Structure 1
Amino acid sequence: MKPTDSEMEILQILWTQGDSSVRRVHELLNKKDVGYTSTLKLMQIMFEKGMVSRDTSSKTHIYKALLSKEQTQHQFLDKMIDTVYNGSTARLVMQALGNQRASKEEIDLIKAYLDNLENA
């Protein structure tokens, strides 16, 4: 199941902050044009879709992400490689490195990762 952009924003908050109330998620969204009830409705829809669980044992309902960050990132990356880069991982990597300035530490990590791939 592929989350929408709005659902991804909520999942990002739940992944970084952990289990949270709708109020907390709404505060962290920092969207002035979106009301609390819109955030609540979206989180209820995400619950119905099975993206989040909801603890209703207290007055304040607490939501928890059921989709793993890694699995979701993997799905988005696979789709992007297929649709935007015609299945070419090399094009994606070259584009990413060309668009963003990588630090020496990041370049060293990339080199080590490539060395491990070659030696595997």
Structure 2
Amino acid sequence: MNSPPKPTPAELEMLRLLYELGPATAKQVHAAALAARPELTYANVLRQLQVMHGKGIVTRDESARAHVYAPAQEQASIQTSLLKDLIQKAFAGSGKALVLAALRGGHVTARERAEISALLGEDRLPD
């Protein structure tokens, strides 16, 4: 079985909301999206979810009057796929270059840096 296509930035936004909410109707996703994007209409959210369903990025439960949407893949799986793509395209395949860029670029908080150091010191980084 082929994996779904890589989500667009707009689709990633919808996925992020679905990961936070759990399975949800378009109305629930729209309500959650309004905090960050008050200009976003219900019709746009519904259409985006329908397109994502057509692409296989989300599943749709049609057993109730209001369809319930959920991500087709676990969040970690999508993140891993996007990260692999980013490492290949932007860092010539070097995970080390990605990590160093994140550490140098101010994208890691002091607390996160301490957690990373502890993991490295214990040599127990997750696979």
Could you say which TM-score interval applies, normalised by the shorter chain?
A: 0.7 to 0.9
Residues 1-60 of structure 1 deviation map (CA, whole Å, 9 limit, x = unaligned): 201111111111111110111011112222233321111111011111111111222222
Name whichever of 17-26 and 106-115 sits farther off: 106-115
Q: Does 1:109 align with 2:115?
A: yes
Identity of aligned residues (%): 30
Runs of 4+ aligned structure 1 residues displaced above 6 Å come to none
1:61 corresponds to which letter in structure 2? H
The number of aligned residues is 117
Q: Does 1:43 align with 2:66?
A: no
Q: Does 1:56 align with 2:50?
A: no
The alignment's TM-score, normalised by the length of structure 2, stands at 0.81
Q: SS at the partner of 1:87?
A: coil
Report the Cα distance in structure 2 between the residues aligned to 1:88 and 1:52, rounded to whole angstroms: 31
Larger helix proportion of the pair? 1
- Aligned partner of 1:26 among 20, 25, 30: 30
| Alignment RMSD (CA, Å) | 1.8
Q: SS at the partner of 1:67?
A: coil
- Aligned partner of 1:85 among 85, 91, 94: 91
2:63 corresponds to which letter in structure 1? S
1:15 corresponds to which letter in structure 2? Y
Report the Cα distance in structure 1 between the residues aligned to 2:44 and 2:113, rounded to whole angstroms: 42
Report the Cα distance in structure 1 between the residues aligned to 2:79 and 2:68, rounded to whole angstroms: 24
Q: What residue ranges of structure 1 are gaps of 5+ in the alignment?
A: none
